[in-house]
Structure 1
Amino acid sequence: MQDSEPAVFEPLATPGWIGPLDRAAGPLYTQILAALEDAVARGVLRPGDRLPTQRALAEQLQVDLTTVTRAYSEARHRGLIDAVTGRGSFIPGGPGATTPALDLSMLMPPPPRGLSLGALIERGLTSLLARTNADVLMAYHIGPGSAPDRLAATQWLEPGFGPLDPRRVVISPGTQPALAALLSVLAKPGDVILADPETYPGFLAACARLGLTVEAIPGDAHGMEPEALARACHQLRPRALYVQPTIANPTTLTMPPARRHEIAAVASAYHLTVIEDDPYSRLIDQPAPALASLLPDLAYHLATLAKCLAPGLRTAFVVIPAREDPERLAGALRALTLMPAPLMTALVTRWITTGTATHLLGAIRREARARQGLAQALLPAGARAHPDGLHVWQHLPAHWDSARLIEAARRRGLGVMPAEAFSVDGTARQAVRIALGAVADRARLAEALESLAGLIEGEASGAGSEA
C-alpha cells in the first residue's frame, strides 16, 4: 500500500472523541470511560472503529498506562468495546469485530490425528470416578496441591529437570494466574522487570495491570545477550527477569545449553530472580535443561499443559525455589482464583500416571511437525520457526507493515498476530506471528498458508490494492 492511500480500520492517531483530562475532576480512568460512552452515544465513535492502543492513548493523555488499561477493561465489561486478538480494541458491531474464518492468531496445540480427545476424556473421567469419591472432587481444595498431583507434576517435568522434590511444585489453573500471582508477590508498582524485546502479551498485560515497568534486553541468534543482561542488572536494579528460553513466543528462538548457563551465571551474580515460562519444551523429544534447574534457589519455572496437550485442562505446574515456602505463591493464587478445578487437576494426574498424557503428547508432536512442514513449504522467505513448535515468526518485505497486512489478511478471512502485540517498548519489527494449531483441518491450514503467502509476496502495487 502507498502512504497516500488510507488504511481501513487504522488506529485513531489523534482521537477526537476525548480531550485533556482534568486531574481535579475525579479518577482519570472514569473520565476516559465517560468520554467513550459519550462518543458512542453521539455517534462520534461508530461500529467497527478501532481505538488507539492503550500505550498510544496513555502517551497522548500523559497518564500512566495502567490508567488506560483500567478504563479499557471496564469498557469491555460494559460492552462498549470489543478486544480482538492481534488487532486491538473496536467499537462492537462493525466489520472490525468479525472473527476470521481461518484463525492463524490463536496459539494452541493442533488436534491430534488418530486420537479422539472426547474419548480420552470420557475414559479418563470414568476411570477417575471409579476410584475417587465424586463429592471429594466437587469440594474445595485449598493449597499448593495434593501430594499425588504434585508427584505427577514432577513426573511430567522430569525431562527438563531430572529428579525434583514434589514439595517444590504448586498447582495453578493455568500460567496466566500464576504469572499474575508471582509478579504480585515479587514486585511492587514501579519496579522493573526485564524481558526479551518481543515477548508473551499475557506477561505484558499482567505487568501493566500491576504497574510494573518492563525493560527489554537485546538478544542475538541464541537468545538474550548475557552482557546486556549484566548491564541492565547493574543499571536498573530489576526485581526479576522473565524469559521463555524454549521456542520463545513469538520469535521461536531456543537458547542452547551454553547460553542458558551464561544467563544463569549472570542471574546468580546479581541475585536476580528468574521467572522461566516454559510452555513448549515437552514438544521436543530431548529438551535442553530447564533454566530453573541451573538456578534452584533463584528461579521459578512455569509449565502449562495448554500448549502441549489442551487449553481446556486449565492446569499449570509452578516449580518454586528450593528454600521457598509454597504457601507464599499458593496464597497469592488463592486471592486471584481460589483454587484450580479439582476435577481437571485429577484428570491431568490420572492421564500422567497412566501414560495417556504422553500418548496424547506424541500425537500432538507428530501433527505439529507435519504442520511445520507445510509452513516451511508454503510460506515465503523470512519465516523463522522451530521444527517442533506451534507457530512461525514471519518477517515482512519492505512494502508491507504489520498493521496493514493484518487488515488485508482479515479481508481474506485470515487472522494473524502483529509484532506490535508482543513489543515491550512499542517499536516492533515488521513481522507477524502465524499460529498453526487452531485451524482444525490440515488441508484447510494449507489453504490459509497459501493465501497468506500470496498476500505477503504480492508486489508493492498489489499490496496496496489489498490493504
Structure 2
Amino acid sequence: MSDDKFTKIAEIIEQKINSGEYLPNSKLPTHRALADELKTTPATIAKAYKLLSERGRLDSFVGRGTFVRAHTELGQAIQAPNDEKYFNFSLLQPCLDVNVAPLKKAYQQAAEQFSAVAIGYVEGSGHEAHREAGVMWAKEYGLLGGNSSNTLLTNGAQHALSLIIHSMTRPGDTILVEALTYPGILAIASLAGRQVVSVALDEQGLCPDSLQAALVEHDPTLVIVVPNHQNPTGALMSQARKKAIAHLINQHQVWLIEDDIYAFLNEAPCEPIANFAPDYTFHISALSKAISPAMRCGFIKAPQPQVNVLNAFIRSDIWLSSPLNFIAATCLIESQEAFRIAAVQRDIAKRRRQIAADILTQVSWQAHGYHIWLPLPQDWQADRFTMEAKNQGILVTSGSYFSADGQVADHVRLSLMSISDEARFKQGLHALQALLQTNRNTLFPF
C-alpha cells in the first residue's frame, strides 16, 4: 500500500463524522480495533488520527482515547433563521414583542440628545454618564463597588468575554471553564489558541472541590463562571457557594470572569462573586437578555489596576462602543424603564416555565430562567434528536455544543423566550413533546 494510505483512511473517518456515524464527542475505536476493521496497521491509524486532529476534527486525551471534536461553530449552536416554518427554541433572548415600544421610545429620546460631543470620539471606553448607567444597572442586581472609573463599556457580553480573554491571557495559557458551558466561550478560546480545561458542575454550578484541584494541577491564568441561571444547566449558586469560589480565587490569585448577564432573573438581588473577590474578578453584565440583542450594551466592572489594560485593548479593537446605543440605554436605566422591562421578562419566563411543565411530561427537568436543560429519553442521542427535530421544523440546541471536555451530554437546551407569540410557543412545545414520545428506533431503524 502506498505511503499516503493514512490520508485515505483519514478521509474515510471524516466521511463517517460528516454522515453522523461518528457523532460529536463520541469516542473513536482504538488504533488496534480500527486497524483490524480496515485491514491496516495501528501505526497507520495513529497517523490518520493525528492528521484529523491537525484539521480540527478530533481531540485526543491521554488515558481516555480519541474523540470527535465537539462543535464550536456558534452559527450551528445558536440558529436564527428568518423563517416562520421553524419553532425556534434555539435562541436565548427576551420576548421581543413586548419590548418594541419602550425600545423605540428610548432611541427617539437618544436622537433628541444628539450633539457633536455626544456622538464623537471620547477617551476611555465611552462617556462617563453611560458608564454610570452601567453601574446603576449592575448595582440593582447586587453588584457592589462599581463606579465610573472601574466600569467599562463593550459591544455586549460576547465582546466583553473576548476582550478579557485576549487582554488577560496569552496563547497557550490555560482557562478553566464549567464542564458544560456557553459555546461562545469555547469558540473564543479556540480561535485565540487558549487551552480549555473543564471543571465539574453540580446542582449549584461550579464545584469548589473540583475547582481547587484544577487550580493546583493546571495553574490556569483565568477561570470563567456563570453564577446565575447557568447556561446551559440553569444552575443557581448559593451565597455560600459564591463565597467558597471567591476564597479560592483570592487564595490562588487567579483572574476570574463572572458572566452575570442573567442576574436580573433572580427574584431578589443576590451578591455576585465579585463582591467577595474584587481584586481578581471581572464582572460582566449586559442588556441583551433583558431588553434586546440589538442593544449591544455590555458593562465590565474590572479590578482598578486592569482598567487601563482593557481600555487599551478596546481602543485597538473597536476604539469605542457605539454612543448611540448607550445614549438609549442610559435613557432606559435612568428613567427606571430598563428595570421595569427586565421585571416583565422575568414574569414571562416564570409563566413560560409553567406552560412547559404542563406540556413536556415525557422527561423530568428543572428550570429557573430563560431555558430548560432537557434530558432526552434513553433511546435518543442529542445530535440525532436535534437533527430530527429540525427535520420536523423545531430548532433546539444539542448538548454536545456545550461540552468542554468531550463528555457526552444527552440533553438539549430549550429556550423559553425566543418565540414571542404564546400560542405558537405552546404549539411548538406540543410538537416537541410528540417527538420525545417517538421511539428513536422507529425513525432510525439501524
**TM-score, normalisation: structure 1:** 0.78
Q: Give the number of equivalent residue pairs.
A: 401
Alignment correspondent of 2:34: none
CA distance in 1, matches of 2:312, 2:298: 16
CA distance in 1, matches of 2:341, 2:93: 14
Alignment correspondent of 2:324: 343
CA distance in 2, matches of 1:87, 1:54: 18
**Displacement of 1:423:** 0.7
**Displacement of 1:178:** 1.4
Out of 70, 86, 89, the position equivalent to 1:101 is: 86
Matched, 1:328 2:309: yes
Structure-to-structure mapping, 1:49-448, within 5 angstroms? 60-63=51-54, 65=56, 84-86=75-77, 101-111=86-96, 115=98, 117=100, 119-130=101-112, 132-158=113-139, 159-162=141-144, 164-321=146-303, 323-387=304-368, 389-448=369-428
User: Structure 2: where are the runs of 5+ without partners?
Assistant: 1-10, 29-47, 60-72
Alignment correspondent of 2:436: 456
**Displacement of 1:65:** 4.4
Distance 1:276 1:59, change over 3 A: farther
Amino acid at match of 1:128: A
CA distance in 1, matches of 2:346, 2:429: 20
The worse-fitting range, judged by mean Cα deviation, of 409-418 and 353-362 is 353-362
3-state SS of the aligned residue for 1:398? coil
Determine what percentage of the aligned residue pairs are the same residue: 25
Alignment correspondent of 2:37: none
Amino acid at match of 2:90: S
Amino acid at match of 1:420: S
Alignment correspondent of 1:72: none
CA distance in 2, matches of 1:17, 1:195: 30
Amino acid at match of 2:126: G
CA distance in 2, matches of 1:341, 1:84: 24
CA distance in 2, matches of 1:217, 1:49: 28
Distance 1:126 1:83, change over 3 A: closer
2:205·2:237 contact (CA, 8 Å) conserved in 1? Answer: yes
C-alpha offsets along residues 114-146 of structure 1, whole Å, 9 cap, x if unaligned? x451x323322333333x234334423452222
Please, what is the CA RMSD of the aligned residues?
Answer: 3.2
C-alpha offsets along residues 231-260 of structure 1, whole Å, 9 cap, x if unaligned? 111111011110001000000001111111
C-alpha offsets along residues 177-235 of structure 1, whole Å, 9 cap, x if unaligned? 11111111111111110011110111100000111111111122222221111111111
3-state SS of the aligned residue for 2:117? helix
3-state SS of the aligned residue for 2:149? helix
User: Structure 1: where are the runs of 5+ without partners?
Assistant: 1-11, 19-44, 69-81, 89-95
**TM-score, normalisation: structure 2:** 0.82
3-state SS of the aligned residue for 2:105? helix
2:125·2:321 contact (CA, 8 Å) conserved in 1? Answer: no
Alignment correspondent of 2:7: none
Amino acid at match of 1:221: E
**Displacement of 1:282:** 0.8
Distance 1:213 1:83, change over 3 A: closer
